[in-house]
Chains A and B, each alone.
Chain A
Amino acid sequence: MNQPAISVAYMTLLRRDIILAYRNRAEFANPLLFFALVATLLPLGIGPDTELLSRIAPGVVWVVALLATLLALEGMFRADFEDGALELMLISPQPVAALVLAKVTAHWLVAGLPLLIIAPPLAMMLYLPVGALPVLLATLALGTPVLSLVGSIGVALTIGLRRGGMLLALLVLPLYVPVLIFATSAVDAAAAGLPVSGQLAIMGAIFIMSVILAPLATAAGLRIALN
């Protein structure tokens, strides 16, 4: 038969969402702008105390990245829900979890990856030691996909609600806490010249677990939401 392979369906949906994001790019600039603004304003508000800034830099970068992700999260399935594309996705003969993974990947490429790109200059503005930058990037590279994946479960569960934004935050933020703790602890340790392999290993484990389990949970959540 002519049913496309799962990988073809995955790539097609990924490409579609990237094209759509490109054509709607103004919408996706907001969370990024938020990230840049907060990280820029904070040193102005706190004052030029180099030591203090460099001490809070890992936490600031991570908390702001987390909130920026949360801001972008709601849009993950919103348009598809409203125009009926989500229904078609659910009744596709392809495994829904694979399609969900494609959508989350696209979302991360558009909303998560840019955070990685602008994080180093912002961290430098906060006097994060240059030696800790690679670790900061590593935690963001492992952590932001987890934020998107775990967030997708919350989005699926709240998509049918008219004002689901607050509920989404309440649902998802507790699940973000472990990522935040291990990520900032890794960057702190790196800044102090201590080994970080333990924290990174745990973040890697969280990442792998989310890749495997979150799409299944999201697919089930979407099914319930659209019933």
Chain B
Amino acid sequence: MDTVASDNLVATAELTARELACTRNERQLFSGVDFSLRAGEALRIDGPNGSGKTSLLRLLCGLGLRDAGKVQWRGRDVDDDRAAFLADIGYVGHANGIKLELTAHENLRFASALGRSKPLSTSSHALAAVGLKTMSDTLCRTLSAGQRRRVALARLLMLDARLWLLDEPLTALDTDAARQIEAMLRAHLDTGGLLILTTHRPIDLGAHPLKRIVLGV
């Protein structure tokens, strides 16, 4: 690889992925995936069902193992300082990762202890931002699927994470809630955050550039 070009790229891009490949059950899902992302930019991973969108997201946050390729975060290989990279990411996967026997408020409080919490962020602010202000002391078991999804997304607001990795964030959300989440994503990009997501629904990120990669073609 020509080092000059990649150095230039690294200087401006916060996140660079090169030649990523993933094999699952002896089937190659994708290979040669390249992209780079600057502060305030979003990337949307597209592709038909089973093309590896979720696998790519999981691979980026280190849940899945890479078969090949490199991921650099702020000019450093993510394998060199995993903890620092992990402190910078906020991930909401297919599963919500919230406990149904805890209240929304408790879920957020416990979740923020596992990562790097944002200064001055409180669970009531985070829940208000996703439209669940009045539900903070309700057990998540009694919330609807869309409300549970919103609790999971509110977790992002508790963390001081620059890079958000979201797998179908708008699943189960009604139109109003989806708009609230879009506003939350735009606010994240406004402050120089980065966003990578998969979605089957159109998403409005305002003036922020939305890059696209298509898997499975």
Contact = CB atoms under 8 A, between A and B. Distances in A.
Interface majority SS (helix, strand, loop, mixed), chain B: loop
Interface size class of A (residues with CB under 8 A): 20 to 34
B115 A84 contact: no
Interface string B81-104: 001101101010111111111100
Given A87-B91, A92-B86, A93-B87, A99 B114 contact: yes
Nearest to A99: B114
Given A23-B101, A91-B89, A93-B87, A84 B95 contact: yes
Given A84-B93, A87-B95, A12 B110 contact: yes
Interface stretch (A13-21, A118-126, A205-213): A13-21
Interface string B112-148: 0111111100000000000000000000000000000
A89 interface: yes
11 contacts: A2-B117, A8-B113, A13-B114, A16-B106, A19-B106, A20-B101, A83-B95, A83-B97, A88-B97, A89-B114, A91-B89
A227 B98 contact: no
Interface of A: 1-4, 8-9, 12-13, 15-16, 19-20, 23-24, 79, 82-85, 87-95, 99, 226-227
Contacts of B63: 87, 90-91, 226-227
Nearest to A83: B95
Contacts of A12: 110, 113-114
A23 B96 CA distance: 20
B97 A85 contact: yes
A225 to B, nearest CB: 11
Contacts of B84: 93
Contacts of B110: 12-13, 15-16
Contacts of B101: 19-20, 23-24
Interface of B: 61-65, 83-84, 86-87, 89, 91, 93-102, 106, 110-111, 113-119, 160
Contact of A19 (B97, B102, B117): B102
Contacts of A83: 95-100
A9 B106 CA distance: 14
Given A13-B110, A87-B63, A91-B63, A3 B97 contact: no
B4 to A, nearest CB: 33
B87 A9 contact: no
Contact of B61 (A16, A79, A91, A95): A91
Nearest to B101: A23
B95 A1 contact: no
9 pairs of A and B residues whose beta carbons are closest in the complex: A84-B95, A84-B97, A12-B113, A93-B87, A3-B116, A93-B86, A92-B114, A23-B101, A16-B110
B96 A84 contact: yes
Contacts of A13: 110, 113-114
Contacts of B116: 1-3, 93
A62 B62 CA distance: 41
A92 B159 CA distance: 11
Given A4-B113, A88-B97, 19 more contacts: A1-B116, A2-B116, A3-B87, A3-B117, A4-B117, A12-B110, A13-B110, A13-B113, A16-B99, A20-B102, A83-B95, A83-B96, A83-B100, A87-B63, A90-B62, A91-B89, A91-B91, A93-B86, A227-B65
Contacts of B102: 16, 19-20, 23
Nearest to A1: B116
A170 to B, nearest CB: 25
Given A1-B160, A16-B102, A83-B98, A94 B119 contact: no
Nearest to B119: A2
